[in-house]
Amino acid sequence: MKNTLSAGIAAIALSVTSMAAVAADTTLTISSWAPPTHGVNAIIWPQLTKMMEDATDGRVSAEIK
């Protein structure tokens, strides 16, 4: 019984640790061949970035280069 309890506690500790790693923030890098004034870079990517941040509660963001 004691070994089973110890194994259960260890399993819970490992699952909590792995869930914290999954919940880590992510920053995507967006690169484009078009100039900064192009509609894709000036309009589309910023809107998509905002939509991603809203949908993931800020866990995923993007950096436009």
Residue 5 is predicted with a pLDDT of 62
* Cα 53 to Cα 65: distance, rounded to the nearest angstrom: 17
* Cα 26 to Cα 3: distance, rounded to the nearest angstrom: 38
pLDDT, average across residues 37-57: 94
* pLDDT above 70 coverage of the chain, percent: 71
pLDDT band at residue 37, thresholds of 50, 70 and 90?
very high
Domain coordinates of the chain in residue numbers? 25-65
Q: CA angle at residue 27 from 26 to 32, to 5 degrees?
A: 145
Residue 3 is predicted with a pLDDT of 67
Residue 12 is predicted with a pLDDT of 77
Whether 54 shows a pLDDT value over 90: the answer reads: yes
* Cα 19 to Cα 33: distance, rounded to the nearest angstrom: 37
For residue 28, which amino acid is it? L
* Cα 16 to Cα 33: distance, rounded to the nearest angstrom: 42
